[in-house]
Amino acid sequence: MESELGLIEQSFISRYSLWVQEPLGELADSFTITDPWISGHPIVFASKEFLKMSGYSKNEVVGRNGRVFQGPGTCRRSVMEVREAIREERAVQVNLLNYRKDGTPFWMLFHMCPVFGREDGRVIHFVGVQVPISRKPGRSGGRNGVGLCEEGSRMSEIVYGSCRKEVCFDSLVDLGRVLSLESALDDADSRGFNIEESCEASDVEKTRAATAINNILSVLTHYSELTGRLVCGKRCSLSGVGLLSSALNISLGRIKQSFVLTDSHLPDMPIVYASDAFFKLTGYARHEVLGRNCRFLSGADTDPSMICRIKESIQNETACTVRILNYRRDKSSFWNLLHISPIRNASGKMEEGCKNQVEHGLSPEMRQLSAVGAVRIAVRSLTMGAGPSKS
């Protein structure tokens, strides 16, 4: 958990400096900022207004994925819209039924947009603004003419209250309880309580959300100038290191082994993705790794014949495994059982190269095969769909 909190802190400080949290905290809007490069796509900043609206403390929110605020009444179609926007790296605006810490539901307008790095066009963060919807739904339903939003929210509160504690503490919810919740929701639908019926946001609320996004982007852009690592609200550049979509980053982030992806289509085959376990193993930070060739791990006592075997494997687009002496950031050495394998996209074309690092010892072969297999599935499944947005 400490290493994850360190990544979250670094996510902000390295890009915007130490001072960015104060002006963000002064904004009167409810919003969160998430980092798709960290495993689980966690929240790295939550505004005071968001904490007040949701009832959670900062420690309960930072480091968690936004799904913790969803419940049985949350429209799955709207959630899929958000996920699709993340995959395509574009802005989206949807109406969502979310839940406070005490289990009470509320309707909000959720406006999300990506933040791009100006130097290479990568998605750095996603900003999500939440505007409470005060307008009543346009039609009524359920028993006694009670509005669908109102009736659905009440039903959601009754059902969701029984599982709120499990969600907050990351415990496993008993399968029987899950099935009973689904049954209760289905029963509610059959009685006319359509809790997925959306309350529509007004034009004023939509404008308010868009204005909040602009204000947040203005702060982030200004403070990124202090570090020299500029950001912008639109993709400004496609040069430099090969781009990986945010969805692929999120999928790869679920793989716990130490590995990197390199892009064979770019000069010197730079690293375009490195896992959290790789940073922990080598001691390097993300910005010190991405864009570099893997040879920086070599040192004075690295066997040149092993390097030749690696080069030959890359040229022939074949897999190979070598035992090689590598060096951490602090110059300490370690024996690395390195497995290299080409990763092909859905059409069979070589897309990336996966290099899996394992400190010599604990069932390395099985761990390597598992990691390479997971990477292949992630790359192939996502290359079957649309790539990152170029807008």
* Integer Cα distance of 288 and 297 in angstroms: 12
Beta bridge partners of 106: 98
* Integer Cα distance of 270 and 86 in angstroms: 25
pLDDT band for position 126 (cuts 50, 70, 90): very high
Q: Are strands 231-232 and 350-359 parallel, antiparallel or unpaired?
A: unpaired
Asked if residue 249 lies in contact with residue 239, where contact means CB atoms within 8 angstroms, the answer is no
Of residues 363 and 7, more confidence is placed in 7
Lowest mean pLDDT among 14-23, 303-312, 377-386: 377-386
- According to the model, what pLDDT value does residue 380 have? 66
Q: Are strands 333-344 and 350-359 parallel, antiparallel or unpaired?
A: antiparallel
Flag whether pLDDT at 192 surpasses 50: no
Lowest mean pLDDT among 23-32, 120-129, 245-254, 324-333: 245-254
- For the segment 121-128, the average pLDDT, to the nearest whole number, is 91
Lowest mean pLDDT among 88-102, 243-257, 278-292, 355-369: 355-369
Give the residue among 127, 134, 124, 88 at the shortest CA–CA distance from 111: 127
- According to the model, what pLDDT value does residue 154 have? 43
Q: What's the one-letter identity of residue 253?
A: G
Flag whether pLDDT at 383 surpasses 80: no
- According to the model, what pLDDT value does residue 375 have? 75
Asked if residue 217 lies in contact with residue 116, where contact means CB atoms within 8 angstroms, the answer is no
Mean pLDDT, the chain, rounded, equals 77
Asked if residue 111 lies in contact with residue 210, where contact means CB atoms within 8 angstroms, the answer is yes
pLDDT tens by residue, 37-64: 888 899 999 999 999 999 999 999 999 9
- According to the model, what pLDDT value does residue 291 have? 85
Flag whether pLDDT at 113 surpasses 70: yes
Flag whether pLDDT at 104 surpasses 80: yes
pLDDT band for position 137 (cuts 50, 70, 90): low
Of residues 214 and 344, more confidence is placed in 214
Flag whether pLDDT at 87 surpasses 50: yes
Q: What's the one-letter identity of residue 352?
A: E
- According to the model, what pLDDT value does residue 356 have? 61
pLDDT tens by residue, 158-187: 444 433 333 333 344 444 444 444 454 444
Contacts of 134 (CB under 8 A, 6+ apart): 202, 205
- According to the model, what pLDDT value does residue 357 have? 60
- According to the model, what pLDDT value does residue 197 have? 56
Sign of the dihedral through C-alpha 249, 81, 88, 234: negative
* Integer Cα distance of 359 and 338 in angstroms: 9
- For the segment 91-110, the average pLDDT, to the nearest whole number, is 94
Lowest mean pLDDT among 161-170, 188-197, 217-226: 161-170
For the whole model, what pTM was predicted?
A: 0.60
pLDDT tens by residue, 254-313: 788 888 988 887 888 889 888 888 999 999 988 788 888 999 999 999 999 999 999 998
pLDDT band for position 388 (cuts 50, 70, 90): very low
Flag whether pLDDT at 148 surpasses 70: no
- The 3-class secondary structure across the chain, one letter per residue, is CHHHHHHHHHHHHHHHCHHHHHHHHHCCCCEEEECCCCCCCCEEEECHHHHHHHCCCHHHHCCCCHHHHCCCCCCHHHHHHHHHHHHHCCCEEEEEEEECCCCCEEEEEEEEEEEEECCCCCEEEEEEEEEECCCCCCCECCHHHCEHHHHHHHHHHHHHCCCHHHHHCCCCCCHHHHHHHHHHHHHHHHCCCCCCCCCCCCHHHHHHHHHHHHHHHHHHHHHHHHHCCCEECCCCCCCCCCCCCHHHHHHHHCCCCCEEEECCCCCCCCEEEECHHHHHHHCCCHHHHCCCCHHHHCCCCCCHHHHHHHHHHHHHCCCEEEEEEEECCCCCEEEEEEEEEEEECCCCCEEEEEEEEEECCCCHHHHHHHHHHHHHHHHHHHHCCCCCCCC
